[in-house]
Amino acid sequence: MEETAEAAGERHAVVIGGGLAGMLAATALLGHVDAVTVVERDRYPTGHAFRKGVPQARHLHVFLSGGLRALEELLPGTGRAFTDAGARTLYPPRDLVTRTVLGWQHRFDERRHGCLSVTRPVIDGVVRDRVLRTAAGSATRLEVLEATEAVGLTGDAGRVTGVRVRARKGGGGRTGGAAPAERTLHAALVVDASGRTSKAPQWYTELGRPAPRQETVDAGIAYATRMLRPTGPAGAPDMGVNVPGWPGCPRGAVYVPVEDGTWLLTAAGVRGHHPPTDDQGFADFTATIGDPYIHGLLSHVDPVSPVYGFRDTANRRRHFERPGAVPEGFVVLGDANCTFNPVYGQGMSVAALGALALRRTLDSGGGLRPGLSAGGTARGGARLRRRLEHRGRRRPAVCRRPGRPCGPRRAADLLVRTAARAARRRRSRPRRRLPRRPVPDRAAVPPDGPAHGPAHPAAAAPARSQCPADRRGTAGPGGLTVSGAPPVLRVTAPRSAGTD
């Protein structure tokens, strides 16, 4: 194995994965080390195009407001650059209405939580471009090794000292037809940002450490997405439309505008309700969700892409935040740390917030220092864990506040209190309602509806769910049957075997 010597006395960081979390981690490190090397197994495409290393990029990717704020703090001006690249800012429920089990949400002008709607290749391309420009004006040298794969860590159970890498066969690397040679990149800090397929647990074992405990909560959701171009105003309502699944009808779809006059239609369903990826099956599926509006749009659009599917949507939490769970010199960010059920649209925001936390830790503690990973992660991790567990997003194994409700009950209490507070605030505030616009068919469109609604086939009848699982709806076309399985919770390492 060839060893690559680091220039004498230089402090070098290596980031594994040049996706969103990786490029933002590199930004966080600027000014704190002499050089950063980003190792990316793909070659980046020219322009804003899809690449294999981020397969989920074919699907709807909405960037939430908290993540956008973190991104703006890390890379000022990125919001503007997104808009210049064609991104749309949607303020729900003004620009994105949701059909709930109780009916269409009212549209009103609420501008605190704008989210960004654009395709994922644009997000990654804009961020990459801005990171490279920012690095060019920094004292830190940034090098990106494309078509290069990280295959392991160097060091021992207590400390990571570098990354073993090799050029990718067929990736245009330096190896030609021969077996790619491995080399080592030495580093004072290694950041794993290699996404949902991160091999960190296996690499831990090679270093003689136990793998971090992993919990999996799998709702069994699958996505199918197609890019569409409206053929006229009827295919381009003046808002995005979201018809999520609900217990009576566990299939849904979202239709949102993205760049260049195109729209993304993403359909989703739990086990037994997975959306098909053939043209006809996909179109038929949209007729079986909880409202006919989206299906009615399909006669007013042309397909721009095939239908792409995605099934690996489980929540996976690796407990790197537990005391002692990371060796010295190692940090894990983005999906490599935690993947989330995509219906909540949190993953990119978590990647941005993680990179911002890394930068704040470096800024506040005087840069790279012994104990940075373990100390920073343990403190930050403990805070995050307390918040997650006591907001009821996950039931704690042991309630640390005896006498007070935990987990789902506490979550329910919180929800009720939050809803009551919001209702009180709404009542005390004059509401800026949008003017109602004439719509062709009040039965088939949201009540405050799009300016141009499709003439839906079911227009004459009141809008009824066609969902096969909805007892209030009519039977689904094609004799679809319901076999919805309950969500699955898996813990893949026993509590005592982990490092927590």
How far apart are the C-alpha atoms of 298 and 302, rounded to whole Å? 8
Residue 230 touches ligand FAD, criterion: CB under 6 A: no
Q: Looking at 243-251, 341-349, 431-439, 446-454, which segment touches ligand FAD (CB under 6 A)?
A: 341-349
Helix (H) or strand (E) holding 417, with range, is: helix 407-428
Could you tell me if 332 and 320 are in contact, meaning their C-beta atoms sit under 8 angstroms apart?
A: yes
| Footprint (CB under 6 A) of ligand FAD, residues 12-41 | 16-22, 39-41
Report which of 59, 191, 202, 210 is spatially closest to residue 120, judged by C-alpha positions: 59
Could you tell me if 203 and 219 are in contact, meaning their C-beta atoms sit under 8 angstroms apart?
A: no
Report which of 320, 42, 29 is spatially closest to residue 200, judged by C-alpha positions: 320
How far apart are the C-alpha atoms of 226 and 241, rounded to whole Å? 15
Q: Would you say 135 or 439 has its CB closer to ligand FAD?
A: 135
Phi, psi (rounded to 5 degrees) for 401 = -125, 80
Six token digits for residue 247: 């217990």
Counting residues that bind ligand FAD (by CB under 6 A) gives: 39
Q: Would you say 22 or 450 has its CB closer to ligand FAD?
A: 22
Q: Would you say 197 or 474 has its CB closer to ligand FAD?
A: 197
Q: Would you say 336 or 444 has its CB closer to ligand FAD?
A: 336
Q: Looking at 127-135, 195-203, 239-247, 387-395, which segment touches ligand FAD (CB under 6 A)?
A: 195-203
Per-position DSSP letters for 71-86, written without gaps between them: HHHHSTTHHHHHHHTT
- Spacing of C-alpha 2 from chain mean position: 37
Q: Would you say 104 or 223 has its CB closer to ligand FAD?
A: 223
Residue 134 touches ligand FAD, criterion: CB under 6 A: no
Q: Output the furthest CA–CA distance in the chain (Å, rounded).
A: 78
Q: Looking at 57-65, 92-100, 206-214, 449-457, which segment touches ligand FAD (CB under 6 A)?
A: 57-65
Q: Would you say 140 or 194 has its CB closer to ligand FAD?
A: 194
Kindly tell me which residue out of 240, 244, 269, 342 binds ligand FAD, with binding defined by CB under 6 A: 342
Q: Would you say 2 or 398 has its CB closer to ligand FAD?
A: 2
Residue 47 neighbours by CB distance under 10 Å: 8
| Footprint (CB under 6 A) of ligand FAD, residues 306-325 | 310, 313
Q: Would you say 45 or 365 has its CB closer to ligand FAD?
A: 45
Q: Looking at 211-219, 234-242, 285-293, 340-348, which segment touches ligand FAD (CB under 6 A)?
A: 340-348
Per-position DSSP letters for 71-136, written without gaps between them: HHHHSTTHHHHHHHTT-EEE-TTTSEEEEETTEEPPPB---SS-EEE--HHHHHHHHHHHHHHHHH
Name the one residue in this structure whose structure tokens are 């580093």. 187
Kindly tell me which residue out of 348, 355, 467, 493 binds ligand FAD, with binding defined by CB under 6 A: 348
Residue 128 touches ligand FAD, criterion: CB under 6 A: no
Helices (H), 341-398: 347-364, 372-390
Kindly tell me which residue out of 78, 117, 349, 361 binds ligand FAD, with binding defined by CB under 6 A: 349
Q: Which residues bind to ligand FAD, rule: CB under 6 A? A: 16-22, 39-42, 53-54, 56, 59-63, 149-150, 193-197, 223, 310, 313, 334-336, 342, 345-349, 351
